[in-house]
Amino acid sequence: MVKLSKLIGMGAFLIFCLVPVIFLCLLGQDLFKIESAFEEASTYQYHFVLVPEELDNEYWQLVQKGAADAAAVHRVYLEYLGPKQADLDDHLKTIDMAIAGHVDGIMTQGLDAKKYKPLFQKAREKGIDIVTVDTDAEGSKRQVYVGTDNYYSGFIAGQALIADTKGEQYVGIVTGRLDVIHQKLRVQGFQDAVSAEKRIHIAGIEESAITKSGASGAAYKLLNDHAKLTAFYGTSALDGVGIIQATAQYRSAADFYVLAFDTLPDTIQALDEGKIDAVVVQHPYEMGYQAVESLVRLQKGEKEEPLQHTGTSVMRREDLSLNQTERPQGVQP
Residue 191 CB contacts under 8 Å (≥ 6 apart), including other chains:
154, 158, 202
CB 235 within 8 A of CB 174: yes
Instruction: Mark residue 189 as left, alpha or beta (left: phi above 0; alpha: psi -120 to 50; beta: remaining).
Output: alpha
CB 45 within 8 A of CB 74: yes
Q: Cite the beta strand spans of the chain per DSSP E.
A: 46-51, 76-80, 105-108, 129-133, 144-147, 169-175, 200-207, 231-234, 257-261, 278-281, 307-309, 313-316
Residue 6 has pLDDT above 60, yes or no: no
Which pLDDT value is given to residue 42? Answer: 60
Residue 26 has pLDDT above 50, yes or no: no
Greater model confidence, 281 or 7: 281
Residue 205 has pLDDT above 90, yes or no: yes
Average pLDDT (28-55) is 67
Q: What is the pLDDT of residues 229-281, one digit of tens each?
A: 999 999 999 999 999 999 988 765 558 999 999 999 999 999 999 999 999 99
Say what the pTM is: 0.79
SS3 258: strand
Residue 330 has pLDDT above 60, yes or no: no
**What DSSP state is assigned to residue 134?**
S
Residue 134 CB contacts under 8 Å (≥ 6 apart), including other chains:
53, 63, 109, 147, 148, 182, 284, 287
Average pLDDT (15-31) is 44
Q: How far is CA 139 from the centre of its chain?
A: 22
- Supply φ then ψ for residue 137, to 5 degrees: -125, 80
- Count other C-beta atoms under 10 Å from residue 149's C-beta: 18
Residue 298 has pLDDT above 90, yes or no: yes
CB 200 within 8 A of CB 163: no
CA distances to 120, 136, 145, 158, 228 from 139, in Å: 11, 9, 12, 28, 42
